[in-house]
Amino acid sequence: MKSREYQQIDPKALPTPTQSPPSHQHQAVGDDGRTPRRKWEVFPGKNRFFCDGRIMMARQSGVFPLTLGLILVTSGLFFIFDCPFLVKHLTSCIPAIGGVLFVFVLITLLQTSFTDPGILPRATPEEAADIERQIDDTGNASYRPPPRTKEVLINQQVIKLKYCFTCKMFRPPRTSHCSLCDNCVERFDHHCPWVGNCVGKRNYRFFYTFIVSLSFLTAFIFGCVTTHLALRAKGGKGLMFALQESPVELAICFFSVWSILGLSGFHTYLVASNLTTNEDIKGSWSGKSGEAVTNPYSHKNIFINCCSVLCVPMPPSLIDRRGFLPADEPAQTSGVDLELPNPSTKSDINVVGGSSHLVLDLQKSSADFSLFLNQTKPAALPA
């Protein structure tokens, strides 16, 4: 099994910066020699940036164009074919409600896809060295691979914090490393290919609003199309003839309504119990190991749980995409200089599909720990 190589930190290679002056004084210049470079240009994760760092997505956009296309096509067909008929025979509120729902869905989808999900920036070389140095306190200033986990007590429960070898830090609780984006994401829920981004602390509320409003929209369109067909069939020509006129819309709505309603219901349960998809799938708090474990993050009250997930003040983006790079600071490297051949070698991949909830959960064995290479660089270790 291919393991992640541990790269020993060479203390001589650590930068000894004079405290970097305010960033607008000395900036790393871009290719044209004039424009200063921004931090997003050297971001080590697998992300794509647009509008000079204002918008970001995962590098693999997944089926995001398909999601957008389906929503636009279905809504377009609804407005073009069903609305005129229903306005004439029922009420003109129908396109109004449909319009509001459609705009809501579109805005929340774009916000989910384009927002930083809560990516944790990688540790600076000095921080990483500090963590590794702390382990060995017999007086020897040597740098060894840190232990894989560290335990903390949260609400009288022992939680294991894992060390992330890519980001060179102990992950905070509920943080997980997404292999598709190669980033540690806070309160990691899942990587959603339908929106082409991870769902984490900062964009979970957008994601939840998106799927709830999408359920309303698809249910609404489905209801309107059914009413339209029923009225037409009553008009004398028969149901089969009426069905032939709008098959596409009906098919899309019929199949998506159940899956999206199901997904909304699932996430409502998660919000009410303050759980993430990641924790639910792994069964972190269901007591599988036999011990009496409960979710230490739950407030034991559905209303407070919902508020703490959806109404907490919006946390800031920690990666400072649009900040300028100081000229003397080396760009944060990707830590371990490995080309990961394919994501399946990484531990924990959670990809949740829309209707079928596909989950691939590959756990690396702890035997990998023994495969760490001691020295990959020719630099000498300190005494």
Q: Which residues are near another protein by CB under 8 A? A: 16-19, 21, 103-104, 107-108, 111, 120-121, 123-124, 126-127, 130, 152-155, 159, 161, 169, 172-174, 186-187, 205-206, 209, 296-297, 304, 307-308, 310-316, 318-320
Report the distance separating Cα 360 and Cα 90, nearest Å.
47
Closer residue to another protein in complex, CB, 169/211: 169
Smallest separation (angstroms) from another protein to the CB of 180: 20
Closer residue to another protein in complex, CB, 2/37: 37
Closer residue to another protein in complex, CB, 18/370: 18
Smallest separation (angstroms) from another protein to the CB of 170: 8
Report the distance separating Cα 260 and Cα 266, nearest Å.
10
Smallest separation (angstroms) from another protein to the CB of 307: 6
Closer residue to another protein in complex, CB, 72/310: 310
Smallest separation (angstroms) from another protein to the CB of 58: 19
Report the distance separating Cα 184 and Cα 160, nearest Å.
16
Closer residue to another protein in complex, CB, 187/267: 187
Active site residues: 192
Smallest separation (angstroms) from another protein to the CB of 212: 10
